[in-house]
Structure 1
Amino acid sequence: MLLDAFGCRWRLDVSGLGPDLGPRVEELWSRAAVADESEDGEDGCAAPVFVVTRGSHPGLVVIDGDEQDATDDEVPYAVSRALTFASIVRRTGECLMLHAAGVAAADGSTVALVAASGTGKTTAASRLGRRLGYVTDETVAVEDDLRVRAYPKPLSVVVDPTDPHGKSEHSPDELGLLTAPADLRLVATVVLERTDEVDAPVLEPFALVDAATLVLPQTSALPSLERPLDRLAEVLVAGHGPWRLRYREIEDCATIVAELAAGRTPGGLPEKVEWQWLAGSADPATAAARQQPPPVPPPPGVFVPDLVVEIDTVVVRAPYDDALVSDGAVLVLQDALPTTLPGLAARAWLAATEPTSVARLVEDAEDGLGSHPEAERLVLGAVRSLVEGGLLRAR
């Protein structure tokens, strides 16, 4: 069968699983099947064959060339996991991939519901997909124009709460989920937060850097994109976000999510969030060198990360991969690792584009934030933390 996984076409061959299990796997993936043999996938590649067959001994299965332990009950989930991973690899560097459930209104307006593994994506998709079209319970792939690529895979339901990796597969049709339209576009991204502290669901906007910090671990291969944090910001601010949905039971959120898909929110839409994207200064050779200790003590005037920082110390930004600035806070990617800088740390990092003394950074802080009797101590502490964290270099 020919199927599409968020822009990747595959020719799924499960004939080697036998007359019972093979048709069952095809049934599970029927919502993702495509009939048009003439077009390649979004990645421009003709559909490779994804073969699933019995292994060399009973209890073994070979999935796309990888032999692994799996009972017949475990094979469908193993296929879903492997096919998802293989599709992520193929689309790396091409689109932004969120670990999220996706549901869509009849006009294609799609809401991505972001959550960590095991914290509610599949439950959200299975409940909300009875009112809105089911897009996916696993990976929401967003193109650079905010088009969404559907991935209506079988839903992976945890069988035993004590074993989060033990899951059974159910097709969207078996669960009564609505079919999403063919043309999808992202209109909102929502961070899910299940909590017993609220009686009724609460949809609330929150700061872009805070949202990006939470969502970044729930992406796949984000640093491989051009402008990674800028792309993430565009996705998060869609529909006047970022949004956080705090809830006790996801069933109670159906109306809120449907309204959000329609461009309406309780209390009206907040002002659109502004941000600044800073292109990284690091290159592969610099990044590799930054991870190695200097072979000899550096000569005077050379920037080093472990110098004791005092008020007359000169500092400058260390090479970084990417940065996002919004509302006085900064999110920095360095060696693909994120660091969030609030307040004084953000201001000092932003001001140190060129070699600058700590004393001058104190003046800059007071110029922007007002005088403070502890300004020198506070700025010095922030700069020391930045130097220790490798975000600033001192000489």
Structure 2
Amino acid sequence: MPEDSRERVLDVWTGAIATAHVADAVIQVGPHGEIESMLEHLSVRVTLAALERKRGQLIMMHAAGVAMDDGRVVAFVGPSGRGKTTLSAALGAHFGYVSDETVAVDRDLTVMAYRKPLSMLRSGKPKEQVSPPRAGLLELPTARLRLAAIVLLDRRPGVSEPVLSRVRVIDAITELIAQLSYVTDLDAPLQRLASLCDAVGGVWRVTYGEAASLIPLVPELVRAPPGVVGTWTPLASAQVGAEVGTTEFKWGAVSDAIAADGSVAVMSDGVLRVLAGIAPSIWIGISRGLSFEQLVAQAIADFDRPPLGDASKLVAAVIDELVREGLVVAEDRQTERGTL
């Protein structure tokens, strides 16, 4: 690598260069035309290598993160294009810059800082990589970093004042899981995410227009009392992916599941599915070994008789859907209520 290119790399990654002499990974970066193109490619490769290194160990959220002086961290979670880098630039001038890309959290809420260069959009050009010092971002506090708040970003141009609202646990998990790296490598990922939400007092959503408008909210978020976002229950059999039920119906291959607020979140084959309506009653009833007639009776007890249609046909239709989704295995037989 030419000396001027090497100096540019060192400048861009100022503040993120490890002092250890043993590399966790070695990244080969070939020629990519202009230096800015190479730097953008390098940033992506380093991020992917860092995520790969910690897969299955940490919850790694696609998020911007900033830290208070005492080490409390707020993670602002959102997909690409939701304004995380712009937010990092605005908030990082007032609070310790943790990352504009990934906030990684251990079981004890310890946050692993990832102070990569900010990747700034440029029209028709590669993203410009700007080091935290050059962007005017603050250093991290000396205190241990620990997650204190999770905030889902909802950026809407034209909103003058930011609005905070609480997010129910299964809704929060549904949105968070789409913004996690290597989620299927986590042990019982739904239960671990639900526990994380509990540990930080629930998840927030912020609807905002401009990044600077969130600066006054950061201290409020870390001081906010725990919110009431509903209780959740682990579905024990799902912890070991066991098939449970009777000879008539069984659960399919399920890796994890939780129940909350009348819904059930199920992880199966790496896909999250949320069951609502009468489906949770039926699916949980199958794990208890209920027959079809008992499942119908359970649905009626939980929801009363339907105003239109026959309860048996409605239950059969739900079971059919659960079978199609792979969440239930049923005998392949024809009955008077239809094909299950």
Question: Could you say whether these structures have the same fold, taking a TM-score greater than 0.5 normalized by the shorter chain as the test?
Answer: yes
What's 2:325 paired with?
A: 389
In 1, the alpha carbon distance for the partners of 2:20 and 2:325 equals 52
Equivalent pair of 1:188/1:237 in contact (CA under 8 Å): no
Deviation for aligned residue 1:353: 0.7
Q: Distance in 2 between matches of 1:101 and 1:70?
A: 29
C-alpha distance 343-257 of structure 1, shift in aligned 2 (>3 A): farther
Match of 1:87 in 2: 50
Q: How many angstroms does 1:204 deviate by?
A: 0.6
- Asked whether the equivalents of residues 189 and 235 of structure 1 are also in contact (C-alpha less than 8 Å), the reply is no
The amino acid that maps onto 1:347 is S
Superposed CA deviations along residues 307-355 of structure 1, whole A, max 9, x for unmatched, are xxxxxxx432112111122111111111111111112112211211154
What is aligned with 2:12?
Answer: 28
2:119 match: 156
What SS class does the counterpart of residue 212 from structure 1 fall into? helix
Amino acid of the structure 2 residue aligned with 1:332: V
What displacement does 1:205 show? 0.6
1:221 — aligned with what? Answer: 182
Superposition pairs of residues 204-243 of structure 1, within 5 angstroms: 204-243=165-204
Instruction: State the shift of 1:187 in Å.
Output: 0.7
Contact 2:79 2:179 in 1 (8 A): yes
Q: 1:378 deviation in Å?
A: 3.6
Q: Is the 8 A contact 2:100 2:116 kept in 1?
A: yes
| Correspondence for 2:128 | 168
Q: Tell me the SS of whatever aligns to 1:27.
A: helix
2-structure distance, mates of 1:253, 1:48? 36
- Number of residues of Structure 1 aligned to a counterpart in Structure 2: 324
Partner in structure 1 of residue 268 of structure 2: 334
Structure showing the higher strand proportion among its residues: 1
Where structure 1 has 5 or more consecutive residues not aligned to the other structure, the ranges are 1-16, 38-45, 51-63, 287-301, 304-313
Letter in 2 for 1:109: R
| 1:38-80 per-position Cα deviation (integer Å, ceiling 9, x unaligned) | xxxxxxxx43463xxxxxxxxxxxxx23546342121111111
Cα deviation, residue 179, structure 1: 1.3
Instruction: Choose the corresponding residue for 1:106, options 69, 75, 96.
Output: 69
Structure 1 319/158 Cα, relative in aligned 2: closer, same or farther at 3 Å?
Answer: same
Distance in 2, Cα, partners of 1:232 & 1:103:
20
Number of the residue aligned with 2:90: 127
Q: C-alpha separation between the residues in 2 aligned to 1:281 and 1:318?
A: 12
* Consecutive unaligned residues in structure 2, runs of 5 or more: 332-340
CA distance in 2, matches of 1:380, 1:70: 61
Quote the sequence identity (%): 35
1:200 and 2:161 correspond:
yes
Residue 179 of structure 1 aligns to a residue whose secondary structure is: coil
Distance 1:219 1:65 in 2: 26
Instruction: Work out the CA distance in 2 between the residues paired with 1:159 and 1:238.
Output: 39
Q: Distance in 1 between matches of 2:214 and 2:257?
A: 33
TM-score (norm 2): 0.87
Q: Deviations over 1:132-182 (max 9, x none)?
A: 11100011110111100001110111112x77xx31100111111111224
Aligned to 1:43: none
Match of 2:98, as an amino acid?
V
Select between 271-280 and 240-249 the one with higher mean Cα deviation: 271-280
- 1:185 and 2:146 are equivalent in the alignment: yes
**Which letter does structure 2 place at the counterpart of 1:189?**
I
Secondary structure (helix, strand or coil) at the match of 2:15 reads helix
Q: Alignment partner for residue 350 of structure 1, among 281, 284, 296?
A: 284
Q: Quick one: which of 199, 210, 227 aligns to 1:249?
A: 210
* 1:12 aligned residue: none
In the other structure, the counterpart of 1:74 is: 37
1:124 maps to amino acid: L
